[in-house]
Amino acid sequence: MVTFSSFSSLLASALPALAFLSLSVSALRLPHPRTASSIATLKLAVRINSYGIENIVVADRARIQALRAGSSSSVNATNAVVTYTADIGVGSPATYYTLLLDTGSSNTWIGAIKPYELTKTSRDTGNKFYVPYGDCGYVFGEEYMDTITLNPDLVIDNQFIGVALNHSELDDGLDGLLGLGPVDLTQGIVNNTYEVPTVTDNLFAQKKISSEVLGVFFAPASSNDSSGELTFGGYNASKITGNLSYVPITSTYPASAYWGIDQSITYGSTPILAETAGIVDTGTTLILIPTDAFNKYQSATGATLDESTGFLKISSDQYSQLSSLHFNTGGVTYELTPNGQIWPRSLNSAINGATDGIYLVIGDTGSRSGSGMDFTNGYCFLSRFYSVYDMTNSRVGFATTEYTFATMN
């Protein structure tokens, strides 16, 4: 999911055969045998952005509403504060492009800043692609097939990739987007084409990875190492501290079209959201819950809505009394501690907040439960839990990390 300035401003042990991949702008680009058993642990690059008043809350709410409406296969993914990027090589010899990572969309495209360089592996399909983003953002261009280099061990032949001819303005330094969502989201994007195999689809089809699985690790923005890691073909067992548990993709539409799960939430021992469908989304910053659950949460915490940020705000005394939130999915409960529920105070200026203010990362979707997509477990959830996206078995996995119970915020 991509930020456009036209918005309100507006991520069990590993098997030996799995190829681990973490992408980074600093990734080595030296020749290396292309073997699926290689392990390449490279970090994602993190961006800390600041766009001003209300951006995160407004952008996140606009995103879930657009996804729920099904009006686009991809909407804003450059969150107002924390985003993750990777340098991806295109062509042979490769030209490297800085792309935004997004599990909520599936088409990969380039050309927003750096022009596409035709090489011996480039092939114009003759088809056009068009992706709308939320209210008024978009990208339009020509669909090519080319060689994609994720790292020296993971090189994809004949990958469909869009080359932008016209687009809404992206954040500085971003060349496009790497789509990591389900392949169904590519339907209707490229003319004369039913759907386009994703990067993960082709890695698996070309036997570069042994399973169609994606592992995502984010460290909290306030930690000493706020980077991330992306693993194709499995997950990095060294990043988790407990068991990895899976939940099947929900059957409830429209959440079922994305990385959707069924989940209930309690605050302390008080239920605030009965089991319902929602999504797990790297392109959303906050944790969004429906209005009826949000009102219960606000009442239970005693928080007030802060007009300067759009966030719920609590006092120091209220923070000391804050209970944990419990996310119940797939028969497992994941505890989001009081510290995990507050915005990193070191980044308060990025949301137009007071230096000593305490702001909660739980937001309102803007509609009541029962929509078919009632919540989003965004970055603030994913920075506390490792997440796995298993396309082969249509399921999502979670596990605790060293940051699940940390108190750095």
Tell me whether residue 306 is one of the annotated catalytic residues. Answer: no
Please give the span between the terminal C-alpha atoms of the chain, in angstroms, as a whole number: 25
Q: Which of 11, 158, 159, 136 minimizes the C-alpha distance to 86?
A: 11
Distance of CA 86 to the CA centre of its chain: 13
C-alpha to C-alpha distance for 325 and 316, rounded to whole angstroms:
18
Q: Which of 60, 201, 281, 374 is catalytic?
A: 281
C-alpha to C-alpha distance for 74 and 63, rounded to whole angstroms:
9
Tell me whether residue 102 is one of the annotated catalytic residues. Answer: yes
- The position carrying tokens 């923070």 is 319
For CA atoms 341, 344, 348, 350, the dihedral sign is negative
Q: Contact 367/292 with Cβ under 8 angstroms? A: no
Q: Contact 238/147 with Cβ under 8 angstroms? A: no
Q: Which of 60, 87, 102, 153 is catalytic?
A: 102
The residues assigned a catalytic role are: 102, 281
